[in-house]
Structure 1
Amino acid sequence: MTSAYRHTTKWLAIAPIAVMLAFVLVPVLNIFSTSLRLDSFAILSATTTRNIVWFTTWQAFISTAIVLVIASPIAAVIANFKFIGRRALISLVSVPFILPTVVVGAAFLELLPRSIHRSALAIIIAHVYFNVGLAVRIISSRWQQIHPQLDDAARTLGASTIRTFLTITLPLLKKSFISAGLLVFLMCFTSYGVVRILGGPARSTIETEIYFRAMQLGDVSGALVLSILQLVVVGILIFLITNIGKAKASPKFGQTVYSRLHHPRSSRQKLLVATVAITTTVAVVTPLMSVLHRSIYLGERFDTSA
């Protein structure tokens, strides 16, 4: 019985690997073997390629930095306070991340002034909107696992709220911030739809350049070279995220019967919760309302023909 079970388990483990090899790896290797030329690697030293790589990197870095700054107060409120609409806020802040990139791009084309259409600023704004929910989820879930007695002990010793955060909370959240930052950077670095819609032909990233070379120039070999470059970057990021995730899983701060959640006590806490909740709701809903308005109104006239 044990031998038969092990034999069955072995074949069940082999089956998905075989499917992956047949339907994923083999076609990819076939494309590389038939289309990749060694002389195409020369495009990596071209000025155009260097500019594209530089733009891809710095817009992803700036987008990530802004996401972490915006996500921090939202995560703080979600992880520490009980208030009416808390669950709704958690769900709402996650909505942009699950939206199709075409919807997000169309929303900001409608919402943003025409003067910043096809600009790096428009791309960064859309990336921030798209990824804040991801960062909030990662940071707030970790924040909730920190034992509240650590904060209480620091305050008993005379530490202020800011000092408690800087000396107790932030060091415990450091790996969560890094993990969230790497994931957001990965999403922004490999973004396609947002860049195509809001950036236009003048704002190319590695992802959009791969499409442009393969589909419009017919340079499949050059597109494969850029794909290899992107795969290397993505592989490094995934390796870092995986290792940080393993290290982050070791402390057991979440094993407690206590909860960090409490109702806002002071007027400052109430103001913080209200400000974050209202600002987040407006920021998430406004682009969606602009798309809805544009889809049912033609000029000043209500129209349902579309």
Structure 2
Amino acid sequence: MDSDALPSVPGWLRSFLSVLEARALTLVAAATALVLLVVFYYPVATVFVEAVVVDGRPTVEPLVSVLSSRFYLVDIFGFTAYQALLSTIASVALGLPGAWLLARFEFPGRETLRSLTILPFVMPSIMVAIGFVATFGKNGTLNAILQAFGLPTVELLFSLPAIVIAHAFYNAPLVARVTTAAWESVDASAIETARSLGASPTRAFRDVVLPQLLPAVAIGATLTFVFTFASFPIVLALGGFQLATVEVFIYSRIQNLAYAEAAALAVIETVISLGLTYLYLRYEGRQRASGQGARPQPRRSLWPGSWTPREIGTRAGIAVYAVALVAVFVLPIASMLLTSLTGSNGAITPEHYLFLLERQQTGASYQVRPLPAIRNSLLFGGATLLVAVPMGVVLGVLTTRQFRGRAVVDALAMAPLAVSGIVVGLGLLRGLVFGVEAFGTRIQVTGALAIIAAHAVGAYPFVTRSVAPLLGNLDPRLVESARSLGASRVRALVDIELPLVAAGVVAGAAFAFAISIGEFDSTIVLAEGSSSYTMPIAVERYLGRRLGPATAMGCLLLAVTSLSFVVIERFGGRYGGRGGF
């Protein structure tokens, strides 16, 4: 800090401010670690303790009962892993052709289609579930189409195929995103060299391109498995308790106040997820360090110059894939919109939206009313930004600095990605919500504060992953020049680095807001009655009674989250697929 700028400040205060500025980054990092400790690690630790301490007595009985039970190991964990494996296979199968299309072809709307691959991180999962109910339900769009062609109807709801298809909707774009980035990083010179040595196009692809794609496919598949292993709203809405995964069963145990059993299940699930996430982070770090190709392959026109049998076969395959994309990605959203505007007599009418207004005016206090749900979602989203963005930026700075133990800090900072919202919600409920004694004072964090804490925990890693790649790509000489001119480390960060990565900060903030708006897992555990319900909770509550109002609320949720997508698409640019999400 320039001493001439504070002529009236006493010398001792100027010295204190100078020392404070010099240590500001360390202090902010310590404050961030403290917040993370209180709102994440302590609640998760509470869950772990409850799995081995019952009624104040240490015991391993809850864990042993789970690990020795065929019901838990086969019916719950086995089915959870099985549906996650099927969902991963479906996501990879649906995502890889999309990566090939985006990486190898040039066509109008290509950049827009590429931008849509961030939708899994923006679109609330409960809204996706509503779209699939409107599509695959008994009176859904699919059966209406089948009946129009005189074909027999099908019933896919509350079945494993419905869960797998919905998971593919959510995770295939993730696979496509990371694989597209890898495909575009393949050096065209290496392929040309292989062809000049006599390799056929198939041999060149197998020996040169495929080895560079497999790591990206493995990363996408690992993330997909982690996400689908801990999936909750989609399984709850499309599978119900008869197809219960670990997450659904933990929720049912919480509802029945069987906290020790829920904690034991949560501990085992968390250990599995953390292990897979750790392997993913290590593998991704090695792949990022390996660098990218010097010259990408040129893209081909989607409309071929000559209609050879090979070109005809390629375009026929693309056409079939386009039909699959429409069926899996477009039809559920279109069905939700159509159902929200279709009355009981089949006519187009706004009656479901009018029902929401009527419920707002005449609904009882215990019923879900739309305006408080919308207000709560917006307020929680804004408050989440105030917590998640500073935390994410600070951790982004730390994870791009070279220091001993950086890998540990990176893993600890990204741990919330591997811990489900149900586990975080259970930990907050049993810890801060119920209260904890500290220094003779009972500390409680309830209501909106607990929900905001849970949302911030789930959101800040996306800020970090949006900011860290940009910080890591900055020329270190910029900071060195500023430091040589007398700027402190914090001043260099604020005046030079952050303005250069402002787009990443804005994109990260949009991610955080969208995640808060769509968060369902922790909110359903922590919400204290209808007064603290959010839009996703309202959608789930309406779904249990009437599909029309549920789709109407889902469309309102879609409108809000679409704004976040526009901001991310505008400011996120292309870097998200390479360094962040």
TM over 0.5: yes
Tell me the residue number matched to 1:185. 225
The 2-side partners of 1:279 and 1:231 are apart by 34
The 1-side partners of 2:48 and 2:81 are apart by 25
Structure 2 residue 303 is matched with structure 1 residue 303: no
The 1-side partners of 2:42 and 2:88 are apart by 35
Amino acid at match of 2:336: V
CA contact (8 A) 1:139 1:177 kept: yes
Match of 2:108, SS state, is: coil
**CA positional deviation for 1:250:** 2.4
- Pick aligned residue for 1:219 from 258, 261, 264: 258
Structure of greater Rg = 2
Structure 2 unaligned segments of length 5 or more: list them.
Answer: 2-17, 139-154, 353-581
User: Cα gap change, 1:108/1:4 in structure 2, threshold over 3 Å: closer, same or farther?
Assistant: closer
**CA positional deviation for 1:96:** 4.9
The 2-side partners of 1:77 and 1:55 are apart by 33
Tell me the residue number matched to 1:25. 41
- Pick aligned residue for 1:260 from 298, 305, 308: 298
**CA positional deviation for 1:271:** 5.0
User: Cα gap change, 1:282/1:204 in structure 2, threshold over 3 Å: closer, same or farther?
Assistant: closer
Structure 2 residue 267 is matched with structure 1 residue 228: yes
Amino acid at match of 1:13: A
CA contact (8 A) 1:147 1:254 kept: yes
Match of 1:116, SS state, is: coil
User: Cα gap change, 1:65/1:293 in structure 2, threshold over 3 Å: closer, same or farther?
Assistant: same
The 1-side partners of 2:259 and 2:84 are apart by 25
CA contact (8 A) 1:92 1:284 kept: no
- Pick aligned residue for 2:337 from 276, 292, 296: 292
CA contact (8 A) 1:119 1:198 kept: yes
Tell me the residue number matched to 1:64. 88
CA contact (8 A) 2:90 2:165 kept: no
CA contact (8 A) 1:77 1:276 kept: no
Structure 1 stretch displaced more, 62-71 or 36-45? 36-45
Tell me the residue number matched to 2:284. 245
Amino acid at match of 1:40: P
Note the alpha carbon deviations across 1:26-80, whole angstroms, 9 max, x for none.
3444455467433212122222211110000011011111211221111011012
Amino acid at match of 1:191: S
Structure 1 stretch displaced more, 153-162 or 24-33? 24-33
Match of 2:289, SS state, is: coil
The 2-side partners of 1:189 and 1:285 are apart by 25
User: Cα gap change, 1:295/1:4 in structure 2, threshold over 3 Å: closer, same or farther?
Assistant: closer
Tell me the residue number matched to 1:208. 248
TM-score, normalization by structure 1: 0.90
Amino acid at match of 2:88: T
Tell me the residue number matched to 1:101. 125
Structure 1 stretch displaced more, 16-25 or 179-188? 16-25
CA contact (8 A) 1:147 1:260 kept: no
Query: Structure 2 matches for 1:111-130, cutoff 5 A?
Result: 111-112=135-136, 114=138, 115-130=155-170
Amino acid at match of 2:349: D
Equivalent pairs counted in the alignment come to 304
Tell me the residue number matched to 2:486. none
Structure with greater contact order relative to length (CA < 8 Å, sep ≥ 6)? 1
User: Cα gap change, 1:111/1:281 in structure 2, threshold over 3 Å: closer, same or farther?
Assistant: closer
- Pick aligned residue for 2:70 from 47, 50, 55: 47
Match of 1:297, SS state, is: coil
**CA positional deviation for 1:219:** 0.5
**CA positional deviation for 1:226:** 0.7
User: Cα gap change, 1:73/1:161 in structure 2, threshold over 3 Å: closer, same or farther?
Assistant: farther
The 1-side partners of 2:283 and 2:217 are apart by 10
Structure 2 residue 198 is matched with structure 1 residue 158: yes
Match of 2:185, SS state, is: coil
CA contact (8 A) 2:120 2:174 kept: no
The 2-side partners of 1:34 and 1:14 are apart by 28
Amino acid at match of 1:261: R
The 2-side partners of 1:85 and 1:277 are apart by 14
The 2-side partners of 1:127 and 1:71 are apart by 12
The 2-side partners of 1:28 and 1:102 are apart by 24
Amino acid at match of 2:103: A
Note the alpha carbon deviations across 1:206-234, whole angstroms, 9 max, x for none.
1111111111x211011001110011111
CA contact (8 A) 1:210 1:227 kept: yes
Percent identical among aligned pairs is 26
**CA positional deviation for 1:81:** 1.5
User: Cα gap change, 1:255/1:3 in structure 2, threshold over 3 Å: closer, same or farther?
Assistant: farther
The 2-side partners of 1:171 and 1:259 are apart by 16
Structure 1 unaligned segments of length 5 or more: list them.
Answer: none
TM-score, normalization by structure 2: 0.49
The 1-side partners of 2:159 and 2:21 are apart by 59
Note the alpha carbon deviations across 1:127-146, whole angstroms, 9 max, x for none.
11111111100000111011
CA-atom RMSD in angstroms: 2.3
CA contact (8 A) 1:71 1:132 kept: yes
**CA positional deviation for 1:287:** 1.0
The 2-side partners of 1:228 and 1:34 are apart by 9
